[in-house]
Chain A
């Protein structure tokens, strides 16, 4: 066990290095001229002369050989300098740091309904195995699993914003945004809802919440489907186990059997899925953020890709990869601690 953890930790730098190499090589497929165009305003680029191009290419070091550029890039990485973000109009690291809290907040708010409802649905389905409820939940899962997120997100926006006017797109209303940006508003955590409460602004809290609910609904279905499938099958398996049967044969009420014996054991694999879900929410809410026009890592990545802003693209990829690596490490290690029976390797 300890050796497992040590091994994982030792491999960590290697994997991170591998990721930087992949990310950097991808960006370098673009060639110097395209790389240059991310530094210059598009309309201005159209008006540039040959000489301007030469000067700028030199200034930005685009003509150096690959290893030199990679070395420079890694050196800058270690200093926290990921380059200039054209889309963000600020250094890439700042752009990431400014946008990440929005994504964290969305993930946090999505987490509780997804886990709560997902597990509840899964357990319900398992307990009523093969009944009407089970079938219904399975169909619900199937649709959620098959529904493209962008179609569902547009529908949510259509229904809850345009139809009912409840959950507008964006991060905050304009009036609220102005207060949040003013000097009197203290940013403790950079999570809007929590900061609003800490500042005693219930109105802003509500406003921020209103902007989060729509995306949360749009994200939830897929993850409900995911989670309830896992919970259901794991629960079904546990229910067949000897100790549950023994408990039942002892005449314990069904509720006690499920709550005390079955559910606890069934939830072990669910923990992994939930962990992966957190990582997934932090690294992959591109579509929902785009449709709901939310500031965040996902929309940042998509806009950067649309404009071929390669510094930002590399930054986001690297950042999210780090999240993924560390997140998985934590999940695996904690899983190994919870359930030492699993095969390590």
Chain B
């Protein structure tokens, strides 16, 4: 009898619980941002990446939440030296292509599709796109334009007129030959296999082409040619190069082999609708429909989650307490990210900058070379409250890191010295700067942040308050500007310091160390020519090598142990000279309804992989 009651109770409960699940055959994901473009070879942002991630497959995939272990996907093997699919001293990757895989339109996947995909992406290589990641390991240059210029021996503007037609017959022939001599041999079909040849061994290559990175997604050749992508011919390939994103037919179309098909992208509603692909080679997904909608207002997202209309929402850290008190909602805190938020210094501010006051060391501004002074940089380094920022402002969702290299990456070493809030130390450095004159005169400058990013505002305000505590004559004004204005100011080299984040492209230290500390890195580039001098100077710390050289060498080192040691040395050096202040490595929070099952987190993924979910 008791047993019966128990079963009845469980039954009732489960019925009750079941009836609670709203829209059991649909996942509604309320996000903040909308995709930029769905062309896998153009998309570089996570919102686009998330859609591509679910619609397309790559050759290989990460094993669950791991950033280093791979499993086969469209390739039946993960190439390695041991299994013989990584050949020629690590420069030839061999991918046997899986059979019986169908695209959403019913076409079969062939090795030719794979070859076409890579070649199209490389030839297309749009400005501000992600294709440099593939071009660098395969050809040793960053853009296809560089390759063409080197091969033809003339500058791009000379080869082409304003309508992208070759200016002469010779150039045209050279361009056609360029395809046959350079591009075609790098990626070849051999039977059922695709061979990719690198210019030299490159450790992160598998990471780059792995599932999660849209630039490695495999597209359908027949479909692509039909909608107007590159026709696969050497003649005239340049007509398909470097479009603006709206010009690409793949901008809002998608045809992959992935678990979901793109049904619609409604711009007005900022909404993407995906539907289960029943012919998916691994078997169809559990959930039929996925709706990803950009909802800018936090209050709406919250209400939708509360009422069960949204299953997943993007949530700002500041509302963590609100979320935790909600019923039926899972909140996961402290997920590691592959991001660093840092404060960079401009060593050579343009004199016309409106953010440096008088531009002189007279108490009403800062000199243009203010941050070339190591003492000033170190003074700033010890004037920021790293722990306080993480504990109070980020609700503990941050890691105090020694340099701009996130935890979990090769070379990360928690035992390296970290900057801490130490006003006395800071005072000592400031007293030393400019032969003591800085201390007497004081300074005035603006610190900018992009509006809407509250964490950066607070970080700037913490710095401002602490500097004023050290010496009231150290005056910082915190100013919010729109993102375009911010970038414009950075581009024009008029920002004195900038607080900015870097999100990993692929999980390798090179992606951070080069970006931040090489004078040609994406951020290092903005420290000014005085930093170039600094970074090219031979250093006793590196046995006579310059910082730039050291960073370049570290990326080529194949022995992981040696490589790690090199990165540790580089980090020690940049800490001593306070090249950038790593403010924090953010930790993420994840919020979804309890009824969503099967969640897996991988920091390098652009977003959710809905195939794993059930409700």
Residues of chain A at the chain B interface (Cβ within 8 Å): 30-31, 33-34, 37-53, 55-56, 59-60, 84, 88-90, 94-95, 98-99, 168-170, 173-175, 177, 181, 293, 295, 303, 306-308
Contacts and interface: CB of A to CB of B under 8 A. Distances in A.
B127 A52 contact: yes
A52 B128 contact: yes
Nearest to B289: A178
Contact of A308 (B267, B484, B503): B484
Contacts of B35: 89
Given A51-B143, A84-B246, A89-B270, A37 B487 contact: yes
B487 A169 contact: no
A300 to B, nearest CB: 9
Contact of B128 (A30, A33, A45, A94): A45
Given A89-B270, A307-B483, A308-B483, A169 B45 contact: no
Given A34-B485, A44-B45, A53-B491, A170 B246 contact: no
B123 to A, nearest CB: 15
A53 B491 CA distance: 10
15 contacts: A34-B488, A41-B44, A43-B44, A46-B487, A53-B127, A59-B127, A60-B244, A89-B267, A98-B267, A169-B297, A169-B300, A175-B309, A293-B300, A295-B269, A308-B485
Contacts of B295: 293
A95 B34 CA distance: 15
A98 B270 CA distance: 12
B309 A51 contact: no
Contact of B267 (A33, A95, A173): A95
Nearest to A157: B299
B244 A39 contact: yes
Given A31-B488, A49-B522, A56-B244, 4 more contacts: A43-B46, A47-B522, A51-B127, A295-B268
A306 B480 CA distance: 12
Interface string B470-503: 0000000000001111011001100000001001
Contacts of A56: 127-128, 244
Contact of B45 (A43, A94, A173, A175): A43
A333 to B, nearest CB: 34
A31 B310 CA distance: 41
Contact of A46 (B143, B482, B500): B500
Given A55-B127, A90-B268, A170 B451 contact: no
Given A55-B127, A88-B267, A38 B484 contact: yes
9 interchain residue pairs of minimum CB distance? A37-B484, A90-B267, A41-B36, A98-B268, A52-B127, A55-B127, A44-B44, A89-B267, A33-B488
Contacts of B500: 46
B430 interface: no
A308 B246 CA distance: 19
Contacts of B303: 168-169
Interface in B71-104: none
Contacts of A293: 295-297, 299-300
A40 B126 CA distance: 12
Nearest to A291: B297
B126 to A, nearest CB: 9
Interface in B15-38: 28, 34-36
A33 B491 contact: yes
B488 A37 contact: yes
B483 A37 contact: yes
A174 B28 contact: yes
B549 interface: no
B268 A33 contact: no
Contacts of B299: 169, 293
A45 B487 contact: yes
A48 B244 CA distance: 14
Contacts of B300: 169-170, 293
A98 to B, nearest CB: 4
A88 B268 contact: yes
B541 interface: no
Contacts of B352: none
A42 B266 CA distance: 21
Interface string B235-272: 00000001010100000000000000000101111100
Nearest to B162: A58
B485 A40 contact: no
Contacts of B48: 41
Nearest to B44: A44
Given A41-B36, A293-B297, A174 B309 contact: yes
A328 to B, nearest CB: 29
B320 interface: no
A175 B26 CA distance: 11
Nearest to A178: B291
Contacts of A52: 127-128
B457 interface: no
Contacts of A175: 309
A90 B35 CA distance: 12
A180 B36 CA distance: 25
Interface string B42-77: 001110100000000000000000000000000000
B304 interface: yes
A38 B491 CA distance: 15
A311 to B, nearest CB: 12
B484 A43 contact: no
A299 to B, nearest CB: 9
Contacts of A98: 267-268
Interface in B290-331: 295-297, 299-300, 303-304, 309-310
B432 interface: no
A237 to B, nearest CB: 46
A173 B35 CA distance: 23
Given A56-B127, A56-B128, A174-B309, A44 B485 contact: no
A98 B503 CA distance: 34
A170 B296 CA distance: 11
Contacts of A303: 296
Residue of A43, A56, A168, A175 with highest tally of chain B CB at under 10 A: A43
A138 B277 CA distance: 64
B268 A99 contact: yes
Nearest to B142: A49
Given A51-B145, A98-B268, A169-B300, A44 B309 contact: no
Nearest to A50: B525
Nearest to B450: A42
B268 A42 contact: no
A183 to B, nearest CB: 11
A181 B127 contact: no
B25 to A, nearest CB: 12
Contacts of B488: 31, 33-34, 37
Contacts of B525: 49-50
A174 B304 contact: yes
Residue of B48, B267, B304 with highest tally of chain A CB at under 10 A: B267
Nearest to A33: B488
B153 to A, nearest CB: 18
Contacts of B484: 30, 34, 37-38, 307-308
Nearest to A44: B44
A37 B45 CA distance: 15
A100 to B, nearest CB: 11
Contacts of B143: 51
A48 B297 CA distance: 29
B267 A44 contact: no
A277 to B, nearest CB: 27
